[in-house]
């Protein structure tokens, strides 16, 4: 038998979520080796997202079974009011499993998704939403121009070609420095990047006076929640390597995939070494090149990667 009345009955109103939910997916199983700087990278990611985004938002973090130190940091941030929604998964559900929860459960009508190694620049959210609200039938907007695979943006190009109000420009339109910065973060050599820059092209669109590059990517995007729900659930049997399903399926469904003309997001990968910080002394280019050359020497590279793989399997492949 109930004793007394539930005090919640006397609450007159409840909090309303922001229109936009920024959702970050995180996975840091340990703080050594590849993940030695990953917690610092996560901290920079979350801090940069809040640094003058241009629009208000609620922050959601989905943690995919990270180590205790990372979980405690996230709990502290949540307790301090800097994370509005925190999901702590006991098991690593992979990106697809996490997306099924994030994209269905985020309370905002707009979801701005990011991997936990994304560095944001001021204004990133406002510019992303501007493209989302200006162009018709937008599937996703990435806050940085870079070159994506053309087979994933055929719907965008076909729409531009048949729409008289769209101005289309093609060529080497992304500045070399912007192009180089992003591709270096993916571990490519400058020579490889130069070859790709010279052999591929950019497509820039202007619609109702608002420019955007054609293309987008699953590592960071802003989208309408109702649009994303068209592609749920994601069924992926590996934690990584299958995330391009979203790019493929969204293009196949005829949605536009766009990028901001300015670089407002950056992939930090697993280190802060490429992030400019006050008081830091950058490694000289000659030293960096010598170290890179040694690490790329085939016998050295093969031996180190083999050792790393063996250690990882000893501890985690059980």
Q: What DSSP letter does each residue of 281-308 carry, written as one string? A: -PPPHHHHHHHHHHHHSHHHHHHHHHHH
CA-CA distance, 43 to 275, in Å (whole number)? 13
Tens of pLDDT, residues 40-96: 999 999 999 999 999 999 999 999 999 999 999 999 999 999 999 999 999 999 999
- For the chain, domain boundaries: 20-235+243-267
Name the residue with higher pLDDT: 220 or 284: 220
**Cβ(226)–Cβ(111) under 8 Å?**
no
Given this model, what pLDDT does residue 244 score? 81
Name the residue with higher pLDDT: 303 or 122: 122
| 318 CB-contact burial (10 Å; exposed 0-12 / middle 13-18 / buried 19+) | exposed
Tens of pLDDT, residues 108-143: 999 999 999 999 999 999 999 999 999 999 999 999
Query: DSSP strand E in the chain: where?
Result: 20-26, 58-64, 85-89, 110-115, 118-120, 138-142, 166-171, 202-207, 210-214, 220-224, 256-259, 265-267
Helix, strand, or coil (residue 133):
helix
**Cβ(258)–Cβ(216) under 8 Å?**
yes
Given this model, what pLDDT does residue 15 score? 81
CA 67-70-76 angle, to 5 degrees, is 140
CATH superfamily, region 20-235+243-267: Spore Coat Polysaccharide Biosynthesis Protein SpsA; Chain A (3.90.550.10)
CA-CA distance, 216 to 144, in Å (whole number)? 8
């Amino acid at each position: 038998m109930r004793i007394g009345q539930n005090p919640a009955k006397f609450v007159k109103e409840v909090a309303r979520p922001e229109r936009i939910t920024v959702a970050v997916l995180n996975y840091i199983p340990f703080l050594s080796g590849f993940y030695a700087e990953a917690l610092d990278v996560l901290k920079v990611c979350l801090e940069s997202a809040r640094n003058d985004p241009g629009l208000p938002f609620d922050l959601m973090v989905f943690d995919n079974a990270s180590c205790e130190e990372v979980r405690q940091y996230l709990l502290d941030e949540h307790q301090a009011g800097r994370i509005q929604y925190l999901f702590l998964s006991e098991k690593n559900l992979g990106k697809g499993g996490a997306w099924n929860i994030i994209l269905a459960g985020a309370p905002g009508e707009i979801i701005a998704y990011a991997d936990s190694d994304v560095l944001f620049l001021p204004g990133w959210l406002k510019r992303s939403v501007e493209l989302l609200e200006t162009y018709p039938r937008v599937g996703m907007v990435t806050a940085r121009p870079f070159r994506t695979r053309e087979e994933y943006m055929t719907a965008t190009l076909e729409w531009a070609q048949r729409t008289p109000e769209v101005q289309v420009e093609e060529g080497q339109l992304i500045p070399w420095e912007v192009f180089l910065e992003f591709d270096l973060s993916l571990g490519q050599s400058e020579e490889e990047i130069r070859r790709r820059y010279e052999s591929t092209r950019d497509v820039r669109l202007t619609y109702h006076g608002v420019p955007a590059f054609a293309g987008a990517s699953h590592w960071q995007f802003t989208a309408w929640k109702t649009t994303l729900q068209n592609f749920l659930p994601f069924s992926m049997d590996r934690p990584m390597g299958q995330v391009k399903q979203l790019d493929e399926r969204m293009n196949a469904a005829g949605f536009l995939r766009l990028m901001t003309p300015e670089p407002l997001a950056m992939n930090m990968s697993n280190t802060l070494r490429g992030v400019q910080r006050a008081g830091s002394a950058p490694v000289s280019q000659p030293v960096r090149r010598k170290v890179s050359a040694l690490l790329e020497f085939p016998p050295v590279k093969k031996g180190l990667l083999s050792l790393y793989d063996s250690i990882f399997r000893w501890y985690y492949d059980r």
